[in-house]
Amino acid sequence: MTTLRDVQRLRGATTQVTLLARRDLRRFWARLDLTQPELVRDALINYMPVLVDRYGDVASAVAVEWYEDVREKVAGLPRYAPVIGQNIPDEAIVETTKWAAGHLWGDDPADTLRVLQGSMDRWMKYSSRDTIRRCIDADPAKPRWARVPQGAKTCAWCTMLASRGWVYESPKKAGDASHRFHDHCDCEIVPEWDRRAVHLEGYDPDRYYALYAEARESVGGPNPSLNDIAERMRVLHPEQYTDGKWPKLPTGASSDGTLQASVYEQWRRDMAFIRPPGADTTRFKIPPERMSEIPGGWPSDLPPLRVREWNHILYGNAQGGGHLAGYGWTHDRPEFPVDWTPQDVRDAMETVLRENPLASRKGRGVKRSEGTVKGVTLRVYTATKRGNLHISGVFPVE
C-alpha cells in the first residue's frame, strides 16, 4: 500500500526540482538591468517558458519514477507502460509573466521575482501531478486515488476537495475541480492499488467531509458554488485552516490594564490553530473566551499579582506558562492536578508566599518562594521591573 513516507518522498523530490528552478531564475534576474523595465519584461517573457519546460520535464521524470516505485510494491498487477505528463502551457507562463512584470514599474520591482518564484512552485507541481494523473488513467490496474494534503492543516479549498476520499474515477474528468491547485499548494495526487487499504497516516477524509458538509448546509440553496462553500468553511472554523477568516480582534483590557484583550484573544487563536486535529480536548485545552480575573482579588500585603501574569500562569502565552490542567501542551509545561481550579491555584500561591519567605535568585532581582500545598510543591517567582515588584510566575514542581 502507498504510505505516508511514499507521499513525503514525492513531495520532497518535487520540492528539490522547484528549488533548482528558482535558483536559475534568481541567477537570471541578477543579470537584468531593472532601470529598463521594458527590456526586463521582454527578457523574462522569452526566458520563463524555457526554464519552466526544462525543469517541468525533470519534475515529470521524478513523478514517473515515483509512480513505478510505489506500484512495484504491490504484487500481481498487470504489465504497465508509464506515461509522461505535460508541462504547464507556454501561453499560461507568458500570461503570468506579463502580469508579474507590472511590478517593474512599481515601488518594488523585486515583487516581480517574488510572484514568479511563487508560480514556479505551482508549475513544477503541475508537471508532477499531471504525470501522476496520466499514469493513473493509463494504468490497467485501475488504482483508486485521493487528493492528500500535507501537514496537520491546510487551506479550506484543499480540505474541501480532499474530503472526497478515495475515488475510482479519472482524476481529471471534465468539470472536476480536483485538478485545481493554487500557488504553494501542498496537496499530492496519491494512487492506491490495494483494495483493502483504507487508511493513510495523516489523511482523514471523514473529518474533512464533516467540515465541508457543515459549510454546505450553512450556505444553503440547491447548488451552492465550491467557492462559496470554501469561503463559509473559512468563517465557520477558522482554526481548522491555514487561511481561516477570524473576526476582528477585540478591544479593551483587563481590570488592571496589564493585559490587552487583543493579545489574549490572539493567543487563544494561535492555540486553536496549532492544536492537533482530533486531539483530546481534556488534555489539549483552549483558553476560555474571556480572560480570567483573579478570583476573590489579591491581598495587598503580598507582592502584587497582575492579571497579565495570572493568565500567563493558567493558560500560557507566547513566552511560556500554561500550568492549569489541560494547558501545558503548548510549551510542554508541568500542570497542576486535574481537580485544581483557578481558585485552588490562587489560594495555594497565597499560602506558599505567607509560609515561605522569598529568597533572592541570581540576576535581575528575581526572587522565589517554595512550599507544598495539598501534596503539591509550588514555586512562586517575583521580579522587579522599573522598580516595581510583582509576581512573575508559579508552577508545580514535578
Per-residue pLDDT, 200: 82
At 211, the pLDDT band (50, 70, 90 cuts) reads very high
pLDDT band at 176 (very low <50, low <70, confident <90, very high): low
pLDDT at residue 177 in the model: 60
Over residues 225-229, the mean pLDDT reads 94
Given this model, what pLDDT does residue 178 score? 59
Q: What is the pLDDT of residue 174?
A: 39
- Tell me the average pLDDT across 15-39: 97
At residue 340, the 3 state secondary structure works out as coil
Asked whether the predicted pLDDT for residue 344 surpasses 80, the reply is yes
User: What is the residue whose three cell numbers read 490553530?
Assistant: 273
Cell readout for 287 is 483558553
The residues pairing with 377 across neighbouring beta strands, listed in sequence order, are 372
Please, which residues bridge with residue 385 across strands?
388
**Total count of residues recorded for the chain:** 398
Count of other CB atoms within 10 angstroms of residue 173: 10
Those residues with Cβ within 8 angstroms of residue 133's Cβ, 6 or more apart along the chain or in another chain: 85, 170, 171, 172, 179, 189
Give the pTM: 0.77
Q: What CA–CA distance (Å, rounded) separates 303 from 393? A: 12
Instruction: Work out the average pLDDT over 327-352.
Output: 96
pLDDT of 272 reads 95
pLDDT value at residue 171 = 61
Distance CA 344, CA 332 (A): 22
CA 390 to chain CA centroid, nearest Å: 36
pLDDT band at 183 (very low <50, low <70, confident <90, very high): confident
**Hey, what amino acid is at 263?**
V
Residues 249-264 pLDDT 10s: 999 999 999 999 999 9
pLDDT at 169: 66
Q: Of 75-89, 310-324, 353-367, which gets the smallest average pLDDT?
A: 353-367
Going by C-alpha positions, the residue among 176, 32, 178 that lies closest to residue 101 is 32
> What are 188-206's pLDDT values in tens digits?
889 988 877 667 888 889 9
- pLDDT beyond 90 at 365: no
- Of 175 and 10, which is predicted with more confidence? 10
Spacing of C-alpha 316 from chain mean position: 20
Question: How far apart are alpha carbons 345 and 11 in whole angstroms?
Answer: 47
Query: CA 6, CA 4: separation in Å to the nearest integer?
Result: 5
Q: Which of 383, 20, 242 is nearest to 369 (CA)?
A: 383
247: left (phi over 0), alpha (psi -120 to 50) or beta: beta
So what's the pLDDT on residue 201? 81
Contact 56, 127 (CB under 8 A): yes
Q: Kindly tell me if the per-residue pLDDT of 175 is higher than 50.
A: no
Instruction: Over range 108-133, report the average pLDDT.
Output: 94
Report the chain's mean pLDDT, rounded to a whole number: 92
pLDDT of residue 186: 82
> Which residues, including other chains, have CB under 8 Å from residue 162's CB and lie 6 or more apart?
146, 147, 148, 149, 154, 187, 203, 205, 208
Instruction: List Cα–Cα distances, 190 to 6, 70, 130, in angstroms.
Output: 9, 10, 12
The C-alpha cell that represents 123 in the structure block: 508549475
What's the CA dihedral at 163, 166, 167, 172 to 10 degrees? 70
Question: What digits encode the pLDDT tens for the residues 279-301?
Answer: 899 999 999 999 999 999 999 99
| CA gap 209, 203 in Å, rounded | 12
Q: What is the pLDDT of residue 153?
A: 85
pLDDT at 11 over 60: yes
Would the pLDDT of 361 be above 80? no
Find cell 541578477 and name the residue: 30
Band of residue 277 on the pLDDT scale cut at 50, 70, 90: confident
Say yes or no to pLDDT of 232 above 50. Answer: yes
- What cell was used for 126? 503541475
* Residues whose CB falls within 8 Å of the CB of residue 251, separated by 6 or more in sequence, listed in order: 261, 262
